[in-house]
Amino acid sequence: MLEMTLDKSKVQEFLRLLGENRRLFAPVKDRMGTKFSEVADPSLVCLDGLNTNLSPKEVVFPQWETLYTFKEDHANEVKLAAQETLLFGARPCDARALGLLDQVFTWEGIDDPYYLRRREKTCVVALACNTPGEACFCTSVGGSPVGEIGADVLAFDLGEQLYLRALTERGEALLKEASTLTEKATEEDKQAVQQAAAEAEKQLQAIPIPKDLAALKESFDAEIWEELGLKCLGCGTCAYVCPTCHCFDITDETKKGVGRRVRNWDSCAFSLFTLHGSGHNPRTTQAARYRQRVLHKFLYCPENFGEAFCVGCGRCITNCPAGLDLRAVLERLSSLAKVT
């Protein structure tokens, strides 16, 4: 296991070097906070912010992408190449979310070539959280502020320097490429990392997660959904900011017979999501749609993939205009489950 340290004054140089033959995505400041963007100038990278408003899932699963182009009745494939990419500074919850998306996009032997071309070329350097945010609950859903899943390198902010631990061969190769800028981590560094990890985990409060799937199934007809459905505006923000939400639409954009078929993020919160051409709609109420979001993540995904599709990043909580707090919902569902 390769463990290195990088003086913080050299972070820009480090990124510039690795960015020479890669696309670099990292958090940068914008009006609203921080946001993952493709960066040409590493001096703009900002590692102080905690969770960006939008998750970095768009690096591998863009909000909008062309599936193929066409002219009249002839479809033309687009070249499915992708450039080597470095995703730098994703938090451990976001890195773990990529691992969950991998499962959907390779599910039952059906590979999604658009997702995989980017994912396979993406090296993830995750940055552990020394001070988790107010809405974070990663440890309650099986994650950790210093978790390694989905990452190739795990970094720790040790004040004056970054500690970098290679987790995969790809991560090791990356660190070796920049070895002129780094130094071998000392015993002292490693101890500091251990201490930071212990302290970070201590700061997170455990919230109850409904784990009894049979009981959760029973909640389908519970009154709680009616009440939550009245609050939910159906705006879809929660799905757009969520690192694990992956529903998409496929639409055509065309002008005079020339165009492209594209896929866009979608959300089960929208009333049109399940509307049939005949006018029939299996989910007519916002209650049913809000329930779909929660049960898909905490019941259907555990049934299909063995784990919940929530990494506890808290984005849907801080960004919901109606103030719906997933933690409170999960707590209520847990107590429902206990009663029934």
Partner 1 sequence: MNQTTNPYMPYPVRIDRITSENEARDLKTFKVVFLDPEHTKAFHHIPGQFAELSLLGKGESPIGIASSPTEEGHLLFTVKKTGVVTGELHNLTEGKVIGVRGPLGKSYPIDRMKGKNVVIVGGGFAFTTLRALTKYMIDDGNRDDFGEITVIYGARSPGELLYKEELKEWEARDDLKTYITVDKGDGNWKGREGFVPTVLEEVAPSSKDALIAVCGPPIMIKFTLPVIKKLGFAPSDTILSLEMRMKCGIGKCGRCNIGSKYVCKDGPVFTLEELDVLPNEY
With CB under 6 A as the contact rule, the residue among 108, 255, 276, 323 that binds ligand FAD is 276
Residue 140 interacts with which of ligand FAD, partner 1, ligand SF4, none, CB < 5 to 8 Å by class:
none
Cα 28 from Cα 38, distance rounded (Å)? 9
Q: Do the Cβ atoms of 197 and 146 come closer than 8 Å?
A: yes
Residue 273 interacts with which of ligand FAD, partner 1, ligand SF4, none, CB < 5 to 8 Å by class:
partner 1
299: contact with partner 1 by CB under 8 A: yes
227: contact with partner 1 by CB under 8 A: no
Phi and psi angles of residue 161, each rounded to the nearest 5 degrees, phi first = -140, 165
277: contact with ligand FAD by CB under 6 A: yes
223: contact with partner 1 by CB under 8 A: no
Could you tell me the smallest distance in angstroms from the CB atom of residue 75 to partner 1? 6
Residue 180 or 278: the one with the smaller Cβ distance to ligand FAD is 278
Residue 316 interacts with which of ligand FAD, partner 1, ligand SF4, none, CB < 5 to 8 Å by class:
ligand SF4
224: contact with ligand SF4 by CB under 6 A: no
With CB under 6 A as the contact rule, the residue among 146, 326, 329, 337 that binds ligand SF4 is 326
**How do the residues of the chain divide into helix, strand and coil, expressed in percent and rounded to 5?**
40, 20, 40
The residues facing 127 across adjacent strands are 155
What does each C-alpha distance from 110 to 40, 106, 116, 248 come to in angstroms?
35, 5, 11, 16
Residue 125 interacts with which of partner 1, ligand FAD, ligand SF4, none, CB < 5 to 8 Å by class:
none
Residue nearest to ligand FAD (CB): 277
- The residue to which tokens 């707090």 are assigned: 325
Length of the chain: 340
Q: Which amino acid is at 323?
A: G
Could you tell me the smallest distance in angstroms from the CB atom of residue 319 to partner 1? 20
Q: Do the Cβ atoms of 194 and 163 come closer than 8 Å?
A: no
The residues facing 38 across adjacent strands are 25
Interface with partner 1 in residues 262-291 (CB under 8 A): 263, 266, 268, 273-278, 280, 282-283, 288
Could you tell me the smallest distance in angstroms from the CB atom of residue 42 to ligand SF4? 28
Beta sheet of 248-255, edge-to-edge order: 74-77, 64-71, 258-265, 248-255
Dump strand ranges (E) for the chain.
Answer: 3-7, 23-30, 33-38, 64-71, 74-77, 85-90, 122-127, 153-157, 161-166, 182-184, 248-255, 258-265
Number of residues that bind ligand SF4 (CB under 6 A): 25
Dihedral over Cα of 234, 267, 143, 52: its sign: negative
Q: Do the Cβ atoms of 23 and 83 come closer than 8 Å?
A: yes
Of 43-51, 121-129, 274-282, 327-335, the segment contacting ligand FAD by CB under 6 A is 274-282
Could you tell me the smallest distance in angstroms from the CB atom of residue 276 to ligand FAD? 4
* Cα–Cα nearest to 317, from 26, 93, 53: 53
94: contact with partner 1 by CB under 8 A: no
Interface with ligand SF4 in residues 229-248 (CB under 6 A): 232-238, 241-244
**What is the binding site for ligand FAD (CB under 6 A)?**
276-278
**What is the binding site for ligand SF4 (CB under 6 A)?**
232-238, 241-244, 269, 297, 310-316, 320-322, 324, 326
